[in-house]
Every structure is written in structure tokens, then in C-alpha cells.
A and B are shown apart, each in its own frame.
Chain A
Amino acid sequence: MKRVGVFICHCGTNIAQTVDCEKVAKMAGGLPQVAFSTDYKYMCSEPGQQVIINAVKEHRLDRVVVASCSPRMHEPTFRKTLEKAGLNPYLLEMANIREQCSWVHQDKEKGTAKAFDLVKMAVAKVLKNEPLSRSSIPIHKRALVIGGGIAGIQAALDIADAGYVVDIVEKEPTIGGRMAQIDKTFPTMDCSACILTPKMVDAASNPNINLLTYCEVEKVDGYVGNFDVTIRHKARSVDMNKCTGCGTCWEKCPTRVASEFDMGLGTRKAIYTPFPQAVPNKPVIDRENCLYFKTGKCGVCQKVCPTGAVDYTQEDRLETVRYGAIVVATGFDLFDESVYGEYGYGRYPDIISGLHFERMINASGPTMGKIKRPSDHTEPKTVVFVKCVGSRDEAKGKPYCSKTCCMYTAKHATLVREKIKDSQAIVFYMDVRTPGKNYDEFYQRAVNEYGVQYVRGRVSKIYQSHGKLIVRGEDTLLGRPVEVEADMVVLATAMVARGDAGELARKLGISYDQHDFFTEAHPKLRPVETHTAGVYLAGTCQGPKDIPDSVAQASAAAAKVCALLSREEMPTEPVVSAVNEAVCSGCGLCISICPYKAIELKTISERVHGKTRERQVASVNTGLCQGCGACTVACRSGALNLKGFTNEQILAEVDALCL
């Protein structure tokens, strides 16, 4: 005879106002094999947990049902309580009478009846529960950071400072990311390079950090503590060991192409470093544009290189490294503003995006920090800024707010007013959102001290007339149409996920939302973790963020990585799939269905008709298995069973409700 204890939580009034908790406790007391039942105001509180511990001892309970909130919220809490009470933590069952009952019903009588049904099911299930035990897996003490922007650099520095080796994989020839393209940073107007480049150098010189620039993640195998990551070292055509970064090669290179780093406003050579402060300051050859690779003639860079570092024969190289943890910090792309045909982007050269403006205003940028119209290189006197281009626009763009545009537009407008004394800066806006520290003060200064004009309303059309850009919109505060003759227009384009974000997510086995931003395990309580253990998120790959947010999150992710790497071994979750080999026919359907690559076939021997025969059966890697249960549903034979959620347990619940 089993002895079940049932504990009904009021959750203050969260549950108690729709559920008669006392009554449910009394009714639960009458269920078969229930030896004790009670209710309490806050079951998760310390005295609440003590109620459970005392009852377990006093009434010799061997199984516990807690009817309260979602197990996602407090299952770990109550498992610990059971452990303290001397029971196996998996002899716990939770009935969610808050989210599934009190929060979705108003009628107290019906709510009470439903709460009892849920308790009844939990009691039926807990009677079938078996004690489960954790095993442990070793942790490989090395971390991988994917993406060498400010978030990746910060995470790597923090992990390295804790004494662990960390590799940064960056697909560009240099680390620095988007922040390196930015000129000034709000709200302090620090020069971006001044605060970023020392960090880049720190990363390069830290003995615990390896910079794998011009590299990409090809494949990710394994599981938390033991990821085997295949990294593609793209052919740089330059021997990193021999090159001193003297720059002779790119000075002499005859080929000029538009610079991606300067957003096409400037040019670079075919052998190049993206910008002067690049780390490592060693060039790569862009094979698509290089004369030598296109025609076989030229070879100037090789001839002039004093150390003989240029090597045209280099090929992509694959390397597999084992890591304990992975931080994803792959950053963002900008929304394709040409979707807004009425804004004329791409048709009129003087309509640029915010990032173009950043390059233009940058002292080492293509115009040496001068604000010039791209069309005729004259100084614009009237600059119009259009906010929310792509953001907050479900029809054409993205429904979400890109978070940084309000602030960087205020910054741009301030800079226009500062650099061009007789200028006019006009901002068309929907809302101004300034929720950061000192952000609103910054915006107010742009308006009050720098005289930036803010016009509330969406721009409907921009067109060119007599060398001017006519910006047509509506001032919704005055309720009348406005028309501005501008010399230049800056579109504050939305932040969007990287084009290849989905592909990377699939390699890593992490989830992403409808906009391809990677999703965190819990928006409030686990904001830097993913659903895949050992994979963490930092920066804008998770959603729009500004620099302080990205850095804070990167440090948070690093802290999680350090906590993981500080252990020799980590306990595994025992709620994993198990194979009944006698029933398994080895069809392998579970293998293709498993999102974590946790199942493979193994060969077993058995006696058939007096002879030894070999056959294949499924085998679960308990380190990789996340207990999602997909395989148990896919298996026609029912050979797979999820511990803690076995078919018998689920059927017991169904029977409790239906029979």
C-alpha cells in the first residue's frame, strides 16, 4: 500500500479565489492510497515546504502531490523539498491548479471541481512513479563563442578571466562586429572605437582567448559539456604566422571594390583588412574580386610581401574541437529598406540608412567624418530622419520595436546640428522611446539644446525635385500634412536577425522565433539560456538590443558558462527516454525524429531458433536526450518510454479522469 500526501496551495488568492482549496484537500483525502492531505497559503514558502517535510515524516508518506502552479515554476523547488524529507525527488507530482484552473475560470464551484479532477489525475500518476536517479557526465573545460562583436568579445573576456580557455569564431576577417562600424555611442557620446578597440586588443592578447577569425561553424555534435564543433577555417590566402600586418600588400593591390564595412560608401582593395584597427591586423584576399584568382595574372601582393606571407594555394580547412559550453553572439542584420518603395531608398542616392550615416560621420570613415551628400558631396543643410522604417510595421516590416533607433536618431540629429552650424534636423517619429539610464535626458538635450525638430507622424512619400528630396508626411499633432525640402534623408531601419540565423539554430539545436531571433529558455527567469543545455545567448541574436544591454547579457552568459565549467561533472536529468529492446524492431524512425540527435542504432545478439542472431535496436544517449518525448510518440511499437512520463503513467491519468 502506497502512502500519498496531497498538498493544496492557495497561492495567496491566485488559486484560493476560484478554488475552494480546503474542500479540494478534504476530497483528496478520500482518494485511494492518499494517507494525508492539507492546504496551505503559500506551499512554496519555507514554512509551506516545512509542512510537506513534517507530513512526510509524521505520516510516513512515500509519494507527494503538490497542487499549485506550473511545474515549470516550482517543480525544482518541491523536488528539493522531497529530498530534504528523505524521499526520491521524482516521487513528486504537480497538479497545475493555477494556470490550468483558477486563472482560466471564474466559477468557483466549477473551478473547485476541475481542481479536484487535476489532483485526482496527479494522484493516479504519482502512484505509478518510480524513483529515478541522476547520473553524471564529464565537463570539457573549454568554451566557444560564436560571433566576435561586442557581446562575443565581452563574454569571451569574462570567461577567460575566470581561467577557462575560450575560442571566438568570427566569420569576418576581424572581430569588432557592428559596434566597430558605429561612430559615437549614446547617451555618453563616447567614441565607439575608443571603448571597443581596447577590448578587441584585450581579447587578442589574452592568453586564454583564441581568435578564429574568417572562420565559420560548420557542424555541432555532442551535448552539454561535450560539444564537438567542426569549424571551417576559410582560406585567407595569407599565412597568419608570417604576416606582420605591414600593409604593403593592400597599398599595392590594383583592385578596388566597395567596402562592406563602409556600407558601400567607400572602397577597399581585394587584399584587405576591413578597417585600420582590425584585430588581427592581418589581411585576407577576397577571392571573388582578386585579379589573380579571376584571371591568373597579377600576383602583386605576393611579389611585394616582405615576409612571403601571401599564399594563393591555401584551402578551406576543417577542424573539430571539443567544448563544454557555447555562447551564441551572432548579432543582427539591417532591415532591407528598399521594401519601402515610397521612401525611394536605392533610387535616390541621398537617402541613406542609419548605419551609412554612422560610417559617414566616423573620422576614419569614407568621408573623414564630414557629413556629405553621397550624390554631389556637398554639405546637406536640411537632414530629415525617418524612424521606425521596418520596425513596428506589421504590414511591410517587422511588428517589433527595434529599440535602438530612437536613441541613435537623436544622436544623429544632434551630430548634424553640432557639425553643421546652420543646419536643420527634422525627425519624423511615431513614438519616442527612451527607457534606458540617462536616455531621456539625452533625447531632451537633442530637442532643447540642439534644436532638433520632432514631427509626430509617419512619412508617406519621399521624392526628388530640383535636386532636393521632398519628404511628405503628416503632423498628427497638428493634424495637417507637412512637406519638407531635405538635402539628405536618413532612414532608421529595423534590426533583423541574421539571414543565416535559422541555419545556425538548426546546427545548434536551439529554437528561434517567427522573426528568426533565437529564443531564450524563459523570458524572465532564464533569459540567457536556450532550451539546449550548455548553449547560451548574448546580444542582438536574441532580439534588438543596445550596447549596454548586449554587454550585460554577454557577462550574464559568461557567468553561466563559468558556473558550468567550474564543475568536473554535471548531473544529468533522469527524465530521459528508455528503450525496451525486446520490443524495438530497430526501424530507426526515432532517430530521424529526435531533435537532439540523441538516438542511434546499436547491434545486439539474441537467440533465435537455437542460433545466435544479430539485430539492431535503438539506443538513447542519456547525455544528449532532453526528455522531449518526440521519439515515444513516433515509435509505433511503443518500445520507447519516457521515464517520469511513461505510457503507464499517462494512461493512469487518463483513466483517473475518464473512468
Chain B
Amino acid sequence: MKEITQKMRDTARELLSSGQVALVLGWEKGYPWYKSAPTFIDKVEDVERLVFDEFCHNNLSKYLLDLAAVDGKVALFVKGCDSRGVNRLIQDNQVKREQLYIIGIPCPGLKDPDDAAGKNWGDEINGAVKCQDCRFPNPVVYDLLLGEKVPAVERGRETRELIERLEKMKPDERYEFWAGQFNRCIRCYACRNICPACNCRECVFDRAVPEWLGKANNLVENQFMQLTRAIHVAGRCIECGECERACPVNIPLMALNRKIINDIEELFGEEPAGLDPEKKTPLGRFELDDPEKFM
């Protein structure tokens, strides 16, 4: 990882000093030690802040939405999941590929910051839940790749086990489960704010006219918000798991997203989102041989 960090700095220095890009999006060491935060670098002397370690969770593609006013190209570092986020935004016509310089980092799988809390550097730390069944650890789009590609490995099955458990439940039990989860939701919208599939200019939850969602924090409104969110990212979720990681009350959002992904793949064939920026998403296009199992 030290080696990757060094390469990141070298690359960023070269890109900035040669004027190829105006801004570099990366990660820097945060506080406490098990947090690495996004950083925005536009001066050569700042490149030493860049790091890549096992806590670089943030999907940097999301920040591209805020960079409309940057003149010139933007360089960003992407892990496998982040690279699908970039394709996701290109697919939604939010950024143009030619405005980006994408530097890929094959991802070895990240660590769980919650587990690291209270531990020291060098202690044994559990892998992050979001990386457990990562299918694309290597970037799917890049201009430059740092390091050797890594194989996809299964590191656990927490989310899948939860889905299996939920699928076996009776509808009432399942409702109870999710009602329990959504009851805890504080509607902080962290899940939405961090998601690269949530790229509306104005979120429906924020609109005053019509007021789709009331301001009161209760189960009904929370459920409405969470289910709307899940449906809005359906077919477009790139499985970066950021929503679940960002959730301060630990709602297993990826179980919901992952279940929808499974269903879509079962219905329309293997079609992970964000692989092909040219192709419309399975729920955004119509084909004559689409299955109509509900009819």
C-alpha cells in the first residue's frame, strides 16, 4: 500500500505540474487513524497528502457532481466499485469521460472502521462488510492503472446470509424486520448524499411542491423514504456499499439493494450496473423479450 501511495503522489505531481489536470481527487489520512477522508488537491505541493490504505472507503466519483465549475480536467483515483460509479455518472449524462483522468487502483479489500475503533495500528481488524462479496475489485475503466490486478475473492457472506434469511420469512415477519430497521432511521440522508446513483439536481425528498415526503420522522415517512431510495437506485446501484457504511444507525441497506440486484439479474440476465457507460440500465430500457412474470 505504501508503494501505491508513492505512485499516487508521483502521478498526481506529474499531472498537476504538466497542467494536464486542474484538480486531483484522492484520499488523505484522517483522524482517528482508521479514517481516510477524501481530499481535493490543486497544488503540486499538496500531493504529499495523498494516501491509499485500507480505510479509503469513500467513493470519490460522487464528488464529480460538485465539480461542474472546475476548468480543465479532473483526475480521480478509483477502486473497482468507484470506477463503476464513474461509469454510472457518465451513463446518466452527469460527467463527460473526456473531462476525467481516471487512475485505477486494484483494491485488496478494505477494513471495517467500526471494528478498528479502540484498537491500535497493527491489530487484527475485520474486513469491511461492503467488500465481502465484491465482484469487481479491479477498476473497470481507467486511463492509468497503479499496481497489479487482483483476483475477486469472497471474504464473508454477512449480507447474503441476511438476504437468505429475509427471503425465508413470511411477509409479516419481513415487514416486522424492516419496520424495526426503518424505525431507527433518523432521516439524516447520509445514504443518499454519499450515493453515486443519487444524482438528481433536486431530490424528491427535498421538494416542497409537491411535498412527497412529510418532515415528521415516523415509521411511515421513513419507510416511504427508504423504499423510494431503494427503487430509485434499482438497476443503477454499483454495490459500493457506501450507503450502509455511512448510515449512523446501521440499517442493512445493502441487503435491500443487493436483493434488488439479484432479482434484476435473475430477470434480465447478469447485468451489474456501471460496466458499460453506453448501455441503458435494465429498468431504463425496453426490449421485446423482456420477461413479464407478473402477467
Contact = CB atoms under 8 A, between A and B. Distances in A.
Interface of A: 502, 582-589, 592-593, 601, 608-609, 611, 613, 615-616, 634, 636-639, 647-648, 651
Contacts of A648: 209-210
Interface in B77-94: 92-94
A637 B210 contact: no
Given A592-B284, A592-B285, A611-B69, A587 B201 contact: no
B189 to A, nearest CB: 15
Given A601-B93, A651-B210, A637 B68 contact: no
B280 interface: yes
Given A587-B94, A593-B286, A648-B210, A637 B201 contact: yes
The 4 closest A-B CB pairs, nearest first, are: A637-B200, A609-B69, A587-B92, A585-B201
Contacts of B260: none
A164 B64 CA distance: 56
B92 A585 contact: yes
Interface in B149-205: 199-204
B200 A613 contact: no
A611 B71 CA distance: 10
A637 B204 contact: yes
Interface in B104-140: none
B202 A583 contact: yes
A601 B286 CA distance: 19
A601 B92 CA distance: 12
Contacts of A609: 69
Contact of A587 (B68, B199, B212): B199
Contacts of B93: 585-588, 601, 616
Contacts, number: 57
Given A601-B93, A615-B68, A589 B200 contact: no
B43 interface: no
Contacts of B92: 585, 587-589
Contacts of B94: 585-587
B49 interface: no
Contacts of A634: 284
B215 interface: no
14 contacts: A582-B202, A585-B199, A586-B93, A587-B92, A587-B94, A587-B199, A589-B280, A613-B68, A634-B284, A636-B232, A637-B201, A639-B201, A647-B210, A648-B209
A583 B200 contact: yes
A638 B69 contact: no
A592 B280 contact: yes
A637 B212 CA distance: 11
Contact of A608 (B69, B280, B284): B69
B135 to A, nearest CB: 25
B277 to A, nearest CB: 12
B69 A583 contact: no
A637 B207 CA distance: 10
A647 B280 CA distance: 26
A445 B200 CA distance: 74
Given A589-B280, A634-B284, A637-B204, 9 more contacts: A585-B92, A586-B93, A588-B92, A589-B92, A593-B284, A608-B68, A611-B69, A636-B200, A647-B210
Given A587-B93, A593-B284, A638 B201 contact: no
Contacts of A502: 288
A593 B201 CA distance: 20
A516 to B, nearest CB: 12
B88 to A, nearest CB: 10
A9 to B, nearest CB: 31
B74 to A, nearest CB: 14
A638 B212 CA distance: 10
Nearest to A648: B210
Contacts of B200: 583, 585, 636-637
A515 to B, nearest CB: 16
Nearest to A609: B69
A366 to B, nearest CB: 39
Contacts of B286: 592-593
A638 B68 contact: no
A647 B200 CA distance: 17
Nearest to A636: B232
Given A592-B284, A608-B69, A613-B69, A583 B210 contact: no
A648 B212 CA distance: 10
